[in-house]
Amino acid sequence: MKLITFVDDSHMQLAFSCLIFRTSSLRRCGWTPESFAAHIGWGGETNGHLLLLKEMNLPGHRLWELAEVLSNTTPLREWDDFVYVEEQLVRGVGDRLHPDLGLPLAQLTPCTWLGSILAEEGNFVWLQTVTDA
């Protein structure tokens, strides 16, 4: 069974709750996106620079638990190697656009290695500096 889908784009779309990993951090620990997904038993998407794990819940309790386990049992550290983020709705009550449309996702401001934007098409993230990957 294939646990990882490859996305041929530098920008990756968020959905619901996500854990976002730098693939360079996974490689530092001896994993590829595929071997990491098999290790944790969770599927995801990668573009070669980032690995996104998604949970169709808000908040993503299973992702929170996974983040805690990884922080306690591996060298991976939140904000340095991975980050938890929740999708921001683009449209609200009365079909009004979100006031932060066109801006970076505020919840990711502390994450210097990750770029983001709230666009009409959705929430997108990318590795800020591809040379770090």
Q: What is the pLDDT of residues 17-51, one digit of tens each?
A: 899 999 999 999 999 999 999 888 888 999 999 99
Measured CA to CA, the distance from residue 113 to residue 80 in angstroms comes to 8
Measured CA to CA, the distance from residue 30 to residue 26 in angstroms comes to 6
- β-pair partners for 54: 18
Res 81: pLDDT: 95
**Structural domain containing residue 46:** 4-132
CA distances from 93 to 21, 56, 86, 129 (A): 32, 21, 19, 36
Q: Looking at residues 122-133, what average pLDDT do you find?
A: 76
Measured CA to CA, the distance from residue 24 to residue 31 in angstroms comes to 9
Structure tokens at 39: 């290790």
Strand pairing report for 4-6 and 44-46 = parallel
Res 133: pLDDT: 44
Question: Greater confidence, 97 or 15?
Answer: 15
Measured CA to CA, the distance from residue 14 to residue 32 in angstroms comes to 21
Res 2: pLDDT: 61
Res 79: pLDDT: 93
How many domains are contained in the chain?
1
Res 98: pLDDT: 65
pLDDT one-digit tens code per residue, 102-122: 889 998 999 999 999 989 898
What is the pTM for the complete model shown? 0.87
Structure tokens at 59: 């908040």
Please provide the average confidence, as pLDDT, over all residues in the chain: 87
Farthest-apart Cα atoms in the chain, separation: 49
Res 130: pLDDT: 52
Q: Is the pLDDT of residue 131 over 60?
A: no
Residue 115, amino acid: G
